């Protein structure tokens, strides 16, 4: 695997599977030109997955003008994406803190991410000072779609999943090119391109239902997809404004007042920003009589509908 990483870092245009098996140490000794190399090919597939699991950015490149031709796929590791930037240096204390942060994510959907981070930190060869804390808290991420989407982005694969939008009776299947995962306002989002339409969309991970299924190789889509998705979400947040009357001294008054961008426009009246009306309606309904939605009407109706449903469910 070490020889494979060295070979893939050294190539600009990438290497085909046949070139790798015939020239890279560990494969070449057992490679039979023109013969049956099925066992070696299976080993390469396992090694490729293991390298990605360690956080190495292994790319798959489709030949120009031959989409879907898996036989001539080329593999490479972009040196700029793999090396630590020259102007980035860590002290022993900083390494200890980064290790502690990685340990905090050792459960849940980011378990694999934390393992990759620890491997990368150890590879820097910097001795860590004693951590400032004797233990690390455990943080859990409950979006089950996170890990399969991360793997599909790393491996540049198409994905299918069911997506349930508010107000729709059942989930609709989507087939997309996954581009980036971003966290905004405390929630994870997938930036993706819909295969059928070519439209770039952002999906909320909590609305992905069922299993995420990875498929064939996805076409390359260069660009800073994380920055684009975050900019779009920020624009939606700026445009989404609600006016809410809150009961003085209540839990709602304290919590809503501390949301990013909240302003008090009059005594007991808060102007809050939001990205998703349905999620905000869920949150406001949970405050019960502590809040009253002044505007917009759609948010007011959504909160009332949730309260009525609660009454109906409980008799």
Residues forming a β-bridge with 174:
161
Mean pLDDT estimate for the chain: 86
Count the Cβ atoms, other than its own, within 10 Å of residue 128.
Answer: 19
Flag the least confident range among 99-108, 176-185, 214-223, 293-302: 99-108
Tell me: pLDDT of 251 over 80. yes
Determine the 3-state secondary structure of 63 from DSSP. Answer: coil
Tell me how far apart the alpha carbons of residues 142 and 282 are, in angstroms, rounded to a whole number.
18
Domain boundaries, the chain: 2-82, 90-139, 146-226, 240-314
Q: 86 falls in which pLDDT band (50, 70, 90)?
A: confident
Of 62 and 172, the one with more pLDDT: 172
pTM above 0.95, yes or no: no
Q: Which residue has the tokens 């980036």?
A: 180
Residue 110, pLDDT score: 60
DSSP 8-class letter at 88 = -
**Burial class, 175, CB count within 10 angstroms (exposed 0-12 / middle 13-18 / buried 19+):** middle
Bridge partner list, 74: 16, 61
Give the class (CATH, top level) of 146-226.
Answer: mainly beta
Name which CATH class applies to 2-82.
mainly alpha
Q: Is the fold of 2-82 the same as that of 146-226?
A: no
């Amino acid at each position: 695997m070490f020889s494979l990483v060295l070979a893939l870092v050294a190539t600009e245009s990438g290497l085909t599977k046949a070139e790798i098996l015939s020239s890279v140490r560990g494969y070449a000794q057992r490679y039979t030109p023109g013969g049956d190399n099925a066992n070696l090919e299976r080993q390469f597939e396992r090694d490729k997955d293991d390298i990605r699991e360690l956080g190495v950015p292994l790319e798959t490149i489709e030949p120009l003008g031959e989409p879907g031709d898996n036989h001539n796929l080329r593999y490479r590791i972009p040196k700029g994406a793999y090396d630590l930037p020259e102007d980035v240096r860590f002290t022993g204390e900083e390494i200890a803190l980064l290790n502690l942060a990685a340990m905090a994510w050792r459960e849940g959907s980011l378990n694999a991410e934390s393992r990759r981070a620890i491997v990368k930190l150890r590879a820097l060869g910097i001795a860590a000072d004693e951590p400032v804390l004797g233990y690390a808290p455990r943080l859990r991420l409950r979006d089950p779609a996170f890990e399969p989407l991360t793997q599909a982005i790393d491996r540049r694969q198409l994905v299918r999943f069911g997506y349930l939008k508010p107000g729709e009776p059942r989930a609709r299947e989507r087939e997309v090119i996954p581009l980036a995962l971003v966290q905004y306002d405390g929630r994870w989002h997938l930036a993706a391109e819909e295969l059928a339409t070519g439209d770039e969309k952002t999906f909320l991970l909590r609305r992905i239902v069922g299993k995420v299924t990875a498929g064939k190789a996805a076409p390359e889509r260069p660009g800073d997809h994380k920055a684009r998705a975050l900019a779009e979400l920020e624009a939606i947040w700026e445009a989404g404004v609600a006016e809410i009357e809150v009961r003085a001294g209540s839990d709602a008054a304290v919590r809503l007042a501390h949301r990013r961008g909240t302003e008090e426009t009059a005594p007991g009246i808060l102007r809050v920003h939001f990205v998703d009306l349905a999620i905000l309606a869920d949150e406001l309904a949970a405050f019960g009589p502590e809040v009253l939605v002044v505007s917009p009407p759609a948010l007011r109706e959504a909160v009332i509908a949730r309260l009525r449903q609660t009454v109906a469910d409980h008799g």
